[in-house]
Structure formats: C-alpha cells, structure tokens
Structure 1
Amino acid sequence: MNGAVGPARTVFVLTGAGISAESGLGTFRDAGGAWTRLDPMKVATPEAFAADPVLVHDFYNGRRRDALAAKPNAAHVALARLETGLAEQGGRLFLCTQNVDDLHERAGSRRVVHMHGELLKARCTACGTAFAWQDDLGLETPCPHCGRRGEMRPDVVWFGEMPMHLDTIDEALAEADLFVAVGTSGAVYPAAGYVAQARAFGIPTLALNLEAADNAGMFEATRLGPASRTVPAWVEEILGGRA
C-alpha cells in the first residue's frame, strides 16, 4: 500500500540490515543471509562464546573488517540530512538502529541509538569497561583497563541478551509524530513491535523496505524499493513539507 503521511516535526526512524545491504554488508534472514549459512546459536550467544570463543571471535573479526571497509550509501546520507533539516525547522529526528555498523555516523548522523550494540566497540566481561575498537579480538587480547586476558568480547547484543537503551527508545517513541521503519525484517523483537506501539499511541506509520516485512500489515503506508532510492525521496518530502 502506498499513501501519504501527515506533517511531522518529531520523527522516529528505525533502521535494520536492509539499509546497509547496499553498502555491501549482508543481511541475516533473507535468502543468502548470514543465518541461512551459519547457526546463530554457535556464533552469537553468550553460551557460544563460552564454549568456543575462538570461533566467535573469528566471526566477529570478519564482520568488523567488513564494516570498516564498507561506505555509507545514499540512504544513510539522506537520514543525516534529515537530522540537520528537522533541527533547522525546530523538529527532531530520533534515529534508532538495529545495526551494529557505524555507517549512520560516517554519513554524518550525530545522534544514533544502537539498540543491538556496536561492532566497533569491545567490552571486558571482567571489569565491564567498553572501548572504541577497530582491531581483531582474540583470547590473548588484554583489557586496556584491567589487563585481564581472555575477557574481551564485541560490545554487541547476542541472542538471549537484553537490547540496549530500551527506556530511551520507549520515551522517544511516545513523543514522536511519525514512525518510520527502514530496511527491517519485522522479525526481531522488541524492534518488530515498535510499529504496534506507535499505532497504539496514534502515531502514523510508514515502512520503507525492499520487500514487505513480516509485520508489513501493521503499517499504514508502505513504499517498496531499494533504500538508496526510497529514503532520499521520502526525506525530500519531509523537509519540503510535502509529507
């Protein structure tokens, strides 16, 4: 379904793997995605890390290198422009991403809430300190804070762990005038439930996806196509007051 969405001053945007796919970073649940080739229970859980930390480190070291090599695409750049444009108009963008890459930041977005953590950060399980991190991690990597070895892990949310910043996200959604999901599968909770939460608040909802998500029926309006095309077009509408 296509449709116009009323004027918005406070916009909540949720992004998923689909927005980074055009930058060369693979998705997870689509055909050919990471979880069709790998069992996530073996590389993306606390239990997997305890059982085979070398395998888990190898997996995330590869993902980290891929993220560093990728470049933001037109969709990332458009959302950075939306943040600036809304602020100039007295509005606000709340950008919440399920992605652990830093492409939003490199495109120019200043405020990004990473609900599933950040691949370019590492955390020590011994002392709990997190650090900016671009190098490989391994069993011999010492914690820069406490010096312990074998305790460093990617600062990402694994299956079975609680997503980050949930209170902040809930507060921002309650204050929004428009909820937009970009490149999301609609299969991962709690993020997949935010559209229902927005509808309960009476907030207009819009999906910008390559194809219909699992929760597509919850959205009032949907625009299908590559994020690099649909997102810039929608941003121009918002900033021009045509949506």
Structure 2
Amino acid sequence: MKPYAEVIGDPISHSKSPAIHGFWLDALDIDAEYRATHVTPDGLAAYLDSRRADPAWRGCNITIPHKQAALDLVEDRGGVRETIGAVNTVIRADDGALIGTNTDAGGFYAPIAGLDLEGKHAVVIGAGGAARAILFALSKIGIGRVTIQNRNVLKAAALLSSFGIKGDAVPLGTKLPVASLLVNSSALGMAGQPVLDLDLSPLPQDAVVYDIVYAPLETALLAQAHARELDTVDGLDMLIGQAALAFELFFDAEPPRDRDDELREILTA
C-alpha cells in the first residue's frame, strides 16, 4: 500500500496541509499521499488505535482541538509534556509505537528569527495548544514580558507560570499595552469564528503583528495592522514552517523550501 500521512481536526475542511504536503511530494517525486481526515474529540482515541496497526501510515499532523488531548494517547519520548505541553505531530515507529512531538514552536519562530525580542514585551491572544508552542519559543529567545489575553484568565495565568515567564493574564479585549510583538494564537478571525476586534493604537510603529489564522489569510487583525503600516506575519508562514519539519519526519526527505513563493501562490489562489 502507498505510504500516507494525514492532518486531523474538528473542523478540518479548511486545512491547507494537504495542498502543502502534496506540493512537496510532487516536487520530490515521492510516491505517497497526504490526506485531511475529520476526527471528533470522541473519536480521537479510536482513530489513533486504528492507525497504529497500519504500516502504510507514517503519521499525522494535529490541529484544533486535539493538541493537548493527543498527548495522553501517544508516547512522549522527547519530553513534550514537560516543555510545550501539547503535540501537533504524531509519527508511527517501525514497531507500531505512536510518538508525539511538536513542530509548532519551530514553525512559529522561523519568520521572526531576525527580530531582537530579548527583554521585550509581547502580547499573546489565546491560551490553547498553539499558545503553548508560542510561549515555549518566546521563553527560549529571552522575551522579557508576556501579556496573555484570554476568556479564561486563570488558565492564561497558569500557562505563564508553567513557562516561568513574567507577565500578566487579562480578559480578552483588554486595552493593549505597548508591546513589540502581538500574536493571535486563537481561532478568532478564522472563517466561521467571531472576529478578533482589537484597538492596535497602543502598539508602537516598529511592532510586529502575527496572526496564525490562515483561513482567511487576510484577517481583520492583519488588515488593521496593514492600515497602520505595521510589519505583519500571516498564518501561512507558521503553517508552512511547521509543515516542513513534519514532512521530514513523515517522508524522510527535506521539502524544497526554495519554492515557497510558488507554494504560497497555490495556497492563496
């Protein structure tokens, strides 16, 4: 049977991961497939059990809402639970073991690697699985302070504490502080979800606004940032970055990142 990998989530129809991995498989002439599979929270354990016995299955990427729940269903050989606390990628070992890892942190950081954020202030919207990867990355580069906006303030405060980051947790919609980086790690602004309505006026002109939502690519948040002529990072940058790391794990090949511009044209057509 032809090797294959998947992306799973609930919902999943919006996912661009099959187009990304399919582009790379075609470019490298690899005889394999990458699929999108709808998996509900109640069906997550059964899905993983079914794939464990399938030698053609190379693994899966995991999106909302399974990134934390999946951690209890796979082996954690890299200490992800003690660091990020969420998995976005599962690979099947030759012995059938399912191993969880996280490529979100690397995918998030790559587009902002050239920024000097050490000692600076960042704002993160949301406190879910993606926020965990983002906070992990920010902690590694020496961010000075993080303000998390979230509906559940206690959850956000606990998240800051778990990463040992100085900062504060405030309700969603609270006036923004002066910050060098604003990251939307939530689903707000995604097609079918409420718009993320923030007043960006407190941000300085050299601030960067980063929205991990990619459907639509031009979210209301990024549109506001563009209107103020702030530097922005869209969701495709993180999506492609984390996908590249997962692709190597699934198919044992390095994707052709020199063709990213061509790939982005396909994804935004």
TM range (shorter): 0.3 to 0.5
Between the two structures, name the one with larger relative contact order (CA 8 Å, sep ≥ 6).
Answer: 1
TM-score (norm 1): 0.35
TM-score (norm 2): 0.33
